[in-house]
């Protein structure tokens, strides 16, 4: 483990934390089957400009970040974030044929260590057209911190409608 990660992982209270002055940021975004994107992987710099002709996907790319914000916002959540975008059918790319899950993966870090955290979300819809999580995973420095579906989800599948 690097010295940065040792300082990050060993806070005074024993919880994972980062040193002051080191702002974490999105360092990459990978998406499959999101709106007009079949599959993309975008490395992000500290300052990123998104340019292109009309109807090239700029707004759809930014909506990925808004979607991630919506699923963690108080009073919003996963189901409402999906429904406000027209449901899974409204989000799913027309390229999605054989593998129809929508997949979002973001990497969070700093310039010196861009992959400190990773969050992955894979979802689709059930027979009632409700959004359902097919997989959710959080990793810290390559080690899995949280992964779903888990035993709790298997005993109560309704939990898979929430992140």
Return the CATH number at 85.
3.40.50.300
pLDDT digits (tens, 9 = 90+) for 114-151: 999 999 999 999 989 999 999 999 999 999 999 999 99
Residues of the domain holding 57: 23-161
Does residue 36 sit within a domain?
yes
- Asked whether residue 140 is assigned to any structural domain, the reply reads yes
Asked whether 152 and 145 are in contact (CB, 8 A), the reply is: no
Whether residue 46 is predicted with pLDDT greater than 50 in this model: the reply is yes
Residues in the chain: 163
pLDDT at residue 98, rounded to an integer: 80
């Amino acid at each position: 483990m690097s010295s940065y990660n040792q300082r990050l992982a060993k806070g005074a209270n024993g919880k994972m934390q980062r040193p002051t002055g080191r702002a974490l940021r999105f360092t990459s975004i990978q998406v499959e089957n999101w709106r007009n994107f079949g599959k993309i992987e975008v490395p992000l710099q500290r300052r990123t400009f998104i340019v292109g002709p009309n109807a090239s996907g700029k707004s759809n790319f930014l909506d990925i970040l808004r979607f991630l914000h919506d699923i963690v916002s108080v009073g919003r959540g996963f189901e409402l974030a999906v429904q406000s975008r027209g449901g899974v059918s409204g989000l799913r790319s027309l390229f999605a044929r054989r593998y129809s899950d929508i997949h979002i993966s973001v990497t969070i870090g700093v310039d010196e260590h861009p992959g400190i955290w990773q969050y992955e979300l894979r979802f689709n819809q059930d027979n009632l057209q409700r959004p359902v999580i097919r997989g959710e995973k959080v990793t810290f420095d390559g080690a899995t911190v949280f992964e779903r579906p888990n035993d709790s989800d298997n005993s109560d599948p309704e939990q898979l409608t929430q992140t």
